[in-house]
Chain A
Amino acid sequence: MLNIKKTKEGEKLMIALEGRLDTLTSPDLETEFKSDIDGVKELVLDLEKLEYISSAGLRVLLLAQKTMNRQGSMVVTNANESIMEIFEVTGFCDILTIE
């Protein structure tokens, strides 16, 4: 189960994730991301309520980061300790800007 909450203010897009970002739910995030990303210069991903991430979720975060490298910036916020550990093990802490 994944809830995706999007807030757009001008060229800034905030996406808050709640639940599990896994093989089954990651395609939903990819779809939501792609439908709204045109013209966005600043993307904030709020992971405060994200409980779980697998490689399928990391794949979408990588896609988002690559997209934003071309058109602006991306920040990941509020990741919990377990999610942070996944970012560290996979080297994603070096790819993502984590605040």
Chain B
Amino acid sequence: MKKMTVKAGLDNLSRVLACVDEELETAGCSMKTQMQVDIAVEEMFVNIANYAYAPGEGDADVCVETEETDGGKRIRITLADQGKPYDPLMQEAPDVSLPAEKRKIGGLGIFMARKNMDEMTYEYRDGRNILTMFKRI
């Protein structure tokens, strides 16, 4: 298990991904799975960095662990912040069938995160946004 608390800023994205990748490599993830998990973590961490505390700043807690399940192993990643209550899973999915001229990029990040993970849950507890993401490996 890997845990870290960092200031929720874009300049810490690389540190967060390095921490996640270290756990994924230990767990023996394929390069493709690693990319998919990295995308989800990037999108959700960037969201926290850009919006959770704006215009102020605060911390984000990151926890990555490998769990044994009936069907094999899975990765569990938790991202938590103490910013404004916000449930990213309520965000409407973008229309990915629109042509280029009509495309808006907003909402695509969360959509990509959800598509690349098997399951995501959100709860607001004790003043914290807690997002948990799962991926079988």
Q: Which residues of A contact B (CB under 8 A)?
A: 22-24, 51-56, 58-59, 62, 65-66, 69, 81-82, 86, 89-91, 94-95
State in angstroms the CA–CA spacing of A22 and B42 once bound together.
Answer: 8
Known contacts A54-B42, A65-B100; is A24 also within 8 Å of B13 by CB? yes
- Tell me whether B10 and A24 are in contact (CB under 8 A): yes
Q: Which of B13, B103, B116 contacts A23 (CB 8 A)?
A: B13
Question: What residue in chain A is nearest B109 (Cβ atoms)?
Answer: A55
Apart from A23-B46, A66-B101, A91-B97, list 5 A-B contacts with CB within 8 A: A52-B35, A55-B43, A82-B35, A89-B112, A94-B97
- Tell me whether B38 and A52 are in contact (CB under 8 A): yes
- Tell me whether A90 and B35 are in contact (CB under 8 A): no
Q: How large is the interface on B (under 10, 10 to 19, 20 to 34, 35 or more residues)?
A: 20 to 34
Interchain pairs with CB closer than 8 A, number: 62
Residues of B90-137 whose CB lies within 8 A of A: 96-101, 103, 105, 108-109, 111-112, 115-116
- Tell me whether B32 and A82 are in contact (CB under 8 A): yes
- Tell me whether A82 and B31 are in contact (CB under 8 A): yes
Question: What residue in chain A is nearest B110 (Cβ atoms)?
Answer: A55
